[in-house]
């Protein structure tokens, strides 16, 4: 089985279109979405219509922005710009997309006996996994060998190995246009494929991954797209300009 893995699209239609074009010749059976379809960007309806069109081929968990932008939660913990974007999104979502957004389940969610997905962490959908300590808590929260997460917008990898009760944890940031990871059956993995629509690792290219469970291999890609088009849409929508500017730098 091959899974296309997408996270943190954030209503960036230009970035999602570039990813769709990039995967056109790659085979995948299912699409996995790790949350934050909307918020920040200016194309929430287009993004949600595409995700909705996947029908039963989709496995998804909700992100914190999905919750707030659909009115399921208040924006009190958001900064000023995120709050403005959430209000704008709620006011601009078409009814059927709003309903669809509200239907995203809370993570974590087990795809198979070996693979699970979550938005923030396996123990808390809103927690960030940046440090080895964060990763340890997330590994302890689920039995799966491979856990995909989003939320930080930084492509990253945590590998856990246990030898006679002694744990070794390795951390790696994943940068580059194409990375291939072969999964070792004696290790556990936490992997963030990066963000489609608002990368924050100083690389403005859209990020996504493909998991091949037969080959036991993960491919991570970065795809150039016109961030200036996404920025222009944000400015034209009257959203905070900083939300457009940051796309140019991947910040």
Q: How far is the CB of 198 from Zn ion (least distance, A)?
A: 7
Torsion angle in degrees (nearest 10) through CA of 164, 167, 173, 174: 30
Instruction: Give the integer Cα–Cα distance in Å for 166 and 164.
Output: 6
Q: How far is the CB of 114 from Zn ion (least distance, A)?
A: 25
Of the two residues 119 and 222, which places its CB atom closer to Zn ion in the complex?
A: 119
Of the two residues 13 and 183, which places its CB atom closer to Zn ion in the complex?
A: 13
Q: How far is the CB of 95 from Zn ion (least distance, A)?
A: 24
Of the two residues 39 and 139, which places its CB atom closer to Zn ion in the complex?
A: 39
Q: Which residues contact 231 (CB under 8 A, 6 or more apart)?
A: 244, 245, 247, 248
Q: Which helix (H) or strand (E) holds 81?
A: helix 80-92
| Binding residues for Zn ion (CB under 5 A) | 8, 36
Instruction: Give the integer Cα–Cα distance in Å for 204 and 196.
Output: 10
Q: How far is the CB of 236 from Zn ion (least distance, A)?
A: 22
Of the two residues 68 and 211, which places its CB atom closer to Zn ion in the complex?
A: 68
The three-state secondary structure class of 221 is strand
């Amino acid at each position: 089985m091959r899974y296309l893995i997408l996270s943190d699209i954030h209503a960036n239609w230009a970035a999602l279109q570039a990813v769709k074009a990039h995967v056109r010749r790659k085979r995948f059976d299912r699409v996995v979405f790790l949350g934050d379809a909307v918020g920040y960007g200016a194309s929430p309806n287009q993004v949600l219509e595409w995700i909705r069109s996947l029908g039963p081929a989709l496995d998804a968990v909700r992100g914190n922005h999905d919750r707030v932008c659909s009115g399921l939660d208040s924006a009190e913990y958001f900064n000023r710009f995120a709050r403005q974007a959430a209000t704008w999104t709620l006011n601009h979502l078409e009814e059927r997309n709003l309903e669809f957004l509200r239907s995203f389940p809370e993570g974590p969610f087990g795809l198979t006996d070996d693979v699970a997905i979550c938005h923030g962490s396996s123990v808390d959908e809103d927690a960030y996994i940046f440090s080895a300590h964060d990763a340890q808590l997330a590994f302890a929260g689920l039995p799966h060998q491979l856990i995909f997460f989003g939320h930080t917008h930084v492509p990253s990898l945590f590998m856990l190995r246990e030898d006679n009760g002694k744990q070794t944890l390795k951390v790696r940031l994943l940068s580059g246009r194409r990375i291939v990871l072969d999964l070792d059956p004696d290790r556990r993995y936490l992997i963030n494929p990066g963000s489609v629509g608002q990368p924050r690792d100083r690389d403005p290219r859209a990020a996504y991954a493909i998991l091949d469970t037969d080959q036991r291999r993960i491919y991570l890609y970065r795809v150039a797209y016109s961030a200036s088009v996404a920025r222009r849409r944000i400015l034209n929508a009257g959203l905070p300009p900083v939300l457009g500017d940051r796309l140019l730098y991947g910040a």
